[in-house]
Every structure is written in C-alpha cells, then in structure tokens.
C-alpha cells in the first residue's frame, strides 16, 4: 500500500494532513501462522478474486494508492438468506488462519451500515461470515453461519455496534478449527469485538464484501495452514 501525507508549515507549526488513503497496515501483521498471501491491489489484477457479480467490483485509485472497491450492489441472489455482495480469494483454502483487512465503508450513515468478511467458504450455501453493522441485533453485528439455511447467529460475544464513519479501519479474524474458536477484532487488536465457537466447517476460502452496502478493501493479509480438498463449487 502507499501512504500520501501533505506537510504544511504555517506560523512556525508543522501540520500533517492525511489524504484518506488506507494507511493502517503499512507493515505486515504479526502472526504465529505462516504467511499465505498479502494483497495490496497495486497490480490492478482481480483474476485471483471470484465475485458473485464482477460488475459490482473494480480496482479504484485513492491518490497514489489502489484499493478493491465494491462500488455497487451485486445483481445476484444467494441460495439462502445471506450476504450476496461477495468476492472470495480463489483457491486458497485454509483451516486455522489469521485474516487481516483494511476496510472503508462508503455508504450513507444509517443503523445497519455494514461491511462483511467471509471465511470457511466452501460454496454459496456453506460458509461463515462476520457482519460488521452500525447497530446490533440478532441479524446485525454478529458472527454467522450459513449451512444450507438462512444465516444463523453464532456469536457468544459482540458489541453495541461497529463505529462506522468514512475513515479506514482495520479488522482481524482468527480461527482455530480444533477448538472451534473464532475471534473478530476491530481496530483494537488486543480485545476481540466478537467471539464465537463452532466446529461445523474446518476449512474454506476467505473473502470480503457486504450485506446491503458498499465499501473499499485494502491490505488483505492471510496467515494460516493450507488444506487441499477434492472439489469446489461457487
């Protein structure tokens, strides 16, 4: 990623003006797990990402930085009630993992303003996701499972809501398949904002997107253990 900063000297004071590009993951996140990939989208290549609706996704430029942008609502529907704005990293299937992503909400402010991260993704009817919603209820700001049925909340802990604004934020998900533990961190990497315990899916791909809204994604870094499965469908 790239960070642009304008320095302005006025009346002997040096002021630094940030120009709003993703600047949260200038260094590779630390993890005890092996690094699998790190994607900053500077190449402009989206061939490694499988989108439910490719027309809703593009690489956008923010000053001298490039980001993955879900700029529109996807014109598709899912087999069961679940987020349909989704781009999944092709062919990288993991068990235990740590996923780090910079996110920027680009929708108007309202109660269910959201972005989502996907993991354990096996096909459109089998995966987990975290819904990072502005206000919390049984269908928002929770960790969910989709298992051939409409999404079901599995969170054991969450917050009153994700404090979305128009700035960039950093999210981390950690997953231990042996214990079933899932933890989601928002900006604060010491205290999880959400937790869950579930052993239904022990492998899958990871992805980004939203339920109802739009947003930008950058500095996607995945640490973990790669597993091989015989077949995948989307």
Q: What is the CATH number of the domain that holds 188?
A: 2.60.120.560
Query: What is the pLDDT averaged over residues 208-223?
Result: 97
User: What is the mean pLDDT of the segment spanning 4-28?
Assistant: 43
Which DSSP helix (H) or strand (E) runs through 16? strand 13-18
Question: What average pLDDT is seen over the chain?
Answer: 89
Print the domain residue range for 189: 22-226
> Which sign, positive or negative, has the C-alpha torsion 98, 103, 108, 109?
positive
- Residue 209 and residue 85 in contact, taking contact as beta carbons nearer than 8 Å: yes
Checking if the pLDDT of 193 tops 60, the result is yes
Residue 14 lies in a domain: no
> What is the percentage of the chain residues whose pLDDT exceeds 90?
80
Domain membership flag for residue 121: yes
What's the whole-number mean pLDDT along residues 21-46? Answer: 84
Residue with more model confidence, 158 or 229:
158
Give the residue among 113, 90, 117 at the shortest CA–CA distance from 103. 117
Tell whether 17 is covered by a domain. no
Residue 208 within any structural domain of the chain: yes
- From the number of C-beta atoms within 10 Å of its C-beta (0-12, 13-18, 19+), residue 186 rates as buried
Domain presence at residue 174:
yes
Q: Taking the model in full, what pTM does it have?
A: 0.88
Give the largest Cα separation in the chain, rounded. 66
Nearest to residue 130, comparing CAs of 116, 112, 150, 140? 116
pLDDT of 26 reads 54
Query: Is residue 141 within 8 Å of 169, Cβ to Cβ?
Result: no
92-132 pLDDT, tens digit each = 999 999 999 999 999 999 988 999 999 999 999 999 999 99
Degrees (nearest 5) of the Cα angle 36, 39, 41?
160
Write down the pLDDT at residue 161. 97
Length of the chain: 234
What are the pLDDT digits (tens) for 131-143? 999 999 999 999 9
Percentage of the chain lying above the pLDDT 70 cut? 87
Asked if the structure places residue 83 within a domain, the reply is: yes
208: pLDDT strictly greater than 70: yes
Has residue 11 been placed in a domain?
Answer: no
- Please give the pLDDT value at position 12: 36
Overall domain count for the chain: 1
DSSP letters for 42-68: TT---TTEEESSGGGEEEEEETTEEEE
Task: Identify whether 2 is part of a domain.
Answer: no
| Residue 133 · residue 151 · CB < 8 Å | no
Output the pLDDT for position 66.
97
């Amino acid at each position: 990623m790239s960070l642009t900063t304008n320095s302005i000297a006025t009346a002997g004071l040096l002021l630094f003006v940030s120009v709003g590009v993703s600047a949260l993951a200038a260094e590779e996140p630390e993890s005890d797990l092996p690094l699998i990939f790190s994607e900053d989208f500077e190449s402009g290549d989206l061939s490694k990402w499988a989108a439910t609706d490719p027309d809703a996704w593009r690489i956008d430029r923010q000053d001298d930085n490039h980001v993955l942008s879900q700029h529109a609502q996807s014109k598709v529907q899912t087999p069961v009630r679940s987020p349909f704005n989704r781009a999944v990293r092709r062919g990288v299937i993991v068990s235990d993992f740590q996923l780090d992503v910079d996110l920027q909400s680009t929708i108007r402010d309202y109660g269910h303003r959201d972005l989502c991260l996907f993991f354990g993704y096996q096909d459109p009817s089998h995966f987990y996701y975290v819904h990072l919603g502005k206000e919390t209820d049984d269908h928002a700001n929770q960790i969910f499972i989709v298992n051939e049925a409409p999404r079901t909340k599995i969170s054991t802990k969450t917050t009153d809501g994700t404090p979305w604004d128009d700035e960039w934020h950093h999210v981390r998900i950690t997953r231990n398949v042996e214990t079933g533990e899932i933890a989601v961190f928002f900006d604060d990497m010491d205290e999880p904002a959400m937790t869950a315990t579930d052993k239904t899916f022990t492998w899958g791909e990871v992805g980004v997107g939203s339920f109802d809204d739009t947003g930008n994604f950058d500095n996607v870094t995945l640490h973990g253990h790669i597993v091989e499965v015989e077949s995948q469908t989307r």
